[in-house]
């Protein structure tokens, strides 16, 4: 990841909050002939005190990506946050020297490590339960895996494989106009808050947290 210092996020607590809120990652791997493949999957980041931990996911058995994953190869998981076009109209310099150009604000986390693939049914049951509990926890009446018809649930488990990324490196980037003046940042926030796009308003909220 290209990571200028002013956009770097190193607080693992903040990165964990972000990953949990997004709840999904694009897993990028390379097959045996060098073709890159990517799949978006819901994920849970299991952290430990000794290491960066693991990113736990599952993939459809019919997806050939898992069959091409090498246990020795490195893989990349990308967690995408909101993103937004930033107009130079928001910058004070447009009134004087006109040395302004458009840019793009966004949030992203990259996990790098080795991927483990497993067809173990009990591991899959645990992963699906963990993912479900994580995403149902904020609901007023959370749905539980135990509520699914047993025969139907067991049949669904046969259609997926477990995918676990053993994380060796974490890189996080919040590009939120930190390289501009406070006045410029406030102008950008105001502009984005008035947008009809959800992503624009989300970036405005993140900028307000960061300013």
Place of tokens 């009446």: 141
Torsion of CA 157, 160, 162, 168, to 10 degrees: -150
- Give 36-64 pLDDT, tens digit per residue: 999 999 999 998 877 899 999 999 999 99
How many residues does this entry show for the chain?
Answer: 211
Q: Kindly state whether residue 203 falls inside one of the protein's structural domains.
A: no
User: Residue 159 phi/psi, 5° resolution?
Assistant: -95, 5
pTM of the model: 0.92
Show the domain range for 53.
Answer: 5-82+105-179
Q: Kindly state whether residue 204 falls inside one of the protein's structural domains.
A: no
Q: Kindly state whether residue 195 falls inside one of the protein's structural domains.
A: no
Task: State how many domains the chain has.
Answer: 1
pLDDT value for 48: 81
Q: Kindly state whether residue 45 falls inside one of the protein's structural domains.
A: yes
Indicate which CATH number applies to the domain containing 52. Answer: 2.30.110.10
Q: Is the pLDDT of residue 95 over 90?
A: no
- Give 190-202 pLDDT, tens digit per residue: 999 999 999 999 9
């Amino acid at each position: 990841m290209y990571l200028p210092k002013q956009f770097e996020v190193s607080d693992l607590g903040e990165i964990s909050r972000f990953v949990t809120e997004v709840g999904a990652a694009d897993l990028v791997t390379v097959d045996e002939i060098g073709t890159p493949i990517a799949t978006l999957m819901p994920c849970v980041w299991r952290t430990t005190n000794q290491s960066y931990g693991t990113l736990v996911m599952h993939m459809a058995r019919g997806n050939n990506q898992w069959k091409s994953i090498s246990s020795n190869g490195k893989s990349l998981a990308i967690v995408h946050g909101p993103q937004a076009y930033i107009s130079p109209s928001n910058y004070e310099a447009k009134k004087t020297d006109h040395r302004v150009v458009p840019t793009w604000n966004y949030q992203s986390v990259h996990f790098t490590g080795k991927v483990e693939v497993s067809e173990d049914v009990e591991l899959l049951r645990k992963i699906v339960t963990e993912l479900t509990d994580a995403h149902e926890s904020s609901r007023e009446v959370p749905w539980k895996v135990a509520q699914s018809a047993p025969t139907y649930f067991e049949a669904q488990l046969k259609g997926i494989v477990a995918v676990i990324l053993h994380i060796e490196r974490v890189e996080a980037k919040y590009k939120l106009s930190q390289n501009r003046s406070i006045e410029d940042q406030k102008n950008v926030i105001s502009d984005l808050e008035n947008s009809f796009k959800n992503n624009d308003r989300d970036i405005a909220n993140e900028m307000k947290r960061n300013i």
